[in-house]
């Protein structure tokens, strides 16, 4: 290899040299514009400070609970219910057991029922949906809407869900999606071993956050408990109807037997005592069956109590709630950095465009 070839710089060295020159040129260019960068940085800090003063804080309501689920009825009780023609007793392995309660808490059903629940707010009874509309000042926005119904939309207390209009359904759906998709509501088990569930909800209104979490827990547990025990309650209702029917037959047999009784019956008319004896036997039979049904009914009620899931509330939201807002210092730092970065990007873009234009002219 010749001396000239050995002294010739490699492609990598050329690339590194050019890169170093570009960096130096860019750095000198930015230093020459330091006044503009500082001005924009300070401007961003001022805007960040203003934003921190004008932005409403978020209020976070926290609730935690433990779900205590007892085992369902025994096989003997299931056989008992079947013998009377009732449905099988529910077990703890159905579709509404375990962690599914977490999903129910975030369901549209639970959230809509919560929003339509009346609460006491500023010495007035209103639905949570109405409170949400008020503090978000949605009616001011709706006044300009093309939909005439939206301009005067409300959710009156006591209005049946099936009577809701299309617009009411749409607004409720928007509320639901806003709560779930923005992460305002979070439901999670932080430790699977302990089984404690944490429910957190954040909004711009402190009292609304507190009331929403409390009512959401109440409505969800009510639905969960009713669903888990629906079959057992149906069995008890049918068993009570059976008990009433047998009691009626028993009392009828007693009255009929009394009507056949005679103080003196001679041998010639012994056949007259047959209806009385028959009614007495019926009365004894009905009494035995009635006593057994009552015993089984009490057993079913005890089993219902064992099947009913219990929720032990651990922490409830207490005013004042945890407040999260953009602090003044944080706002100024974020604003200053944002302003400085944006102006640097703009200056670098202008420098690049100048270089491109110069190359075209050359």
The reported pLDDT for the residue numbered 100 is 76
CB–CB of 321/60 below 8 Å?
yes
The reported pLDDT for the residue numbered 88 is 46
CB–CB of 331/51 below 8 Å?
yes
pTM higher than the cut 0.85: no
Averaged pLDDT score across all residues of the chain: 77
Pairing between β-strand 118-121 and β-strand 310-315 as defined by DSSP bridges? unpaired
The reported pLDDT for the residue numbered 263 is 44
pLDDT beyond 70 at 126: yes
Nearest to 63 by CA among 203, 205, 187: 187
Is 58-229+309-324 in CATH node 3.30.70? Answer: no
- Paired with 322 in beta bridges are 60
The domain spans of the chain are 33-55+328-362, 58-229+309-324, 233-259+270-307
Rounded to whole angstroms, the Cα distance separating 266 from 249 reads 30
Q: Quick one: average pLDDT of 220-230?
A: 83
106 Cα distance to chain centroid: 3
The reported pLDDT for the residue numbered 362 is 55
More confident residue, 212 or 54: 212
Confidence of residue 155 (pLDDT cuts 50, 70, 90): very high
pLDDT beyond 60 at 316: yes
Q: How many helices (H) and strands (E) does the chain have?
A: 14, 7
Q: For residue range 61-74, list pLDDT tens digits in order.
A: 999 998 776 654 44
Rounded to whole angstroms, the Cα distance separating 169 from 147 reads 14
């Amino acid at each position: 290899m010749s001396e000239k070839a050995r002294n010739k710089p490699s492609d990598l060295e050329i690339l590194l040299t050019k890169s170093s020159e570009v960096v130096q040129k860019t750095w000198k260019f930015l230093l020459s514009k330091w006044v503009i960068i500082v001005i924009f940085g300070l401007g961003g800090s001022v805007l960040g400070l203003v934003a921190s003063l004008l932005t409403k804080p978020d209020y976070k309501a926290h609730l935690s609970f433990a779900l205590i689920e007892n085992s369902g009825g025994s096989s003997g009780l299931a056989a008992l219910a079947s013998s009377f023609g009732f449905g099988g007793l529910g077990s703890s392995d159905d579709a509404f057991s375990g962690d599914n309660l977490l999903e129910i808490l975030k369901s549209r059903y639970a959230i809509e029922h919560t929003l339509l629940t009346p609460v006491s707010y500023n010495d007035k009874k209103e639905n949570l949906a109405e409170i949400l509309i008020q503090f978000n000042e949605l009616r001011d926005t709706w006044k300009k809407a093309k939909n005439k119904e939206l301009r005067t939309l409300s959710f009156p207390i006591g209005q049946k869900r099936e009577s809701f209009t299309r617009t009411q359904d749409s607004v409720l759906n928007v509320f639901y999606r806003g709560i779930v998709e923005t992460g305002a509501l979070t439901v999670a088990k932080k430790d699977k071993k302990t089984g404690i569930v944490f429910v957190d909800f954040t909004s711009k209104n402190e009292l609304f956050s507190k009331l929403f979490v409390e009512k959401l827990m109440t409505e969800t547990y009510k639905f969960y408990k009713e669903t888990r025990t629906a079959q057992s309650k149906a069995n008890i209702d049918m068993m009570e109807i059976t008990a009433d029917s047998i009691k009626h037959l028993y009392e009828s047999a007693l009255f009929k037997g009394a009507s056949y009784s005679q103080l003196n019956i001679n041998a010639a008319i012994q056949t007259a005592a047959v209806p009385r004896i028959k009614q007495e036997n019926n009365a004894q039979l009905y009494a035995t069956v009635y006593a057994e049904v009552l015993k089984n009914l009490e057993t079913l009620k005890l089993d219902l109590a064992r099947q009913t899931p219990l929720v032990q509330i651990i922490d409830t939201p207490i005013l004042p709630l945890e407040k999260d807002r953009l602090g003044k210092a944080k706002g100024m730092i974020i604003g200053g950095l944002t302003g400085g970065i944006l102006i640097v990007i703009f200056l670098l873009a202008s420098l690049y465009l100048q270089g491109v234009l110069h190359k075209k002219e050359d």
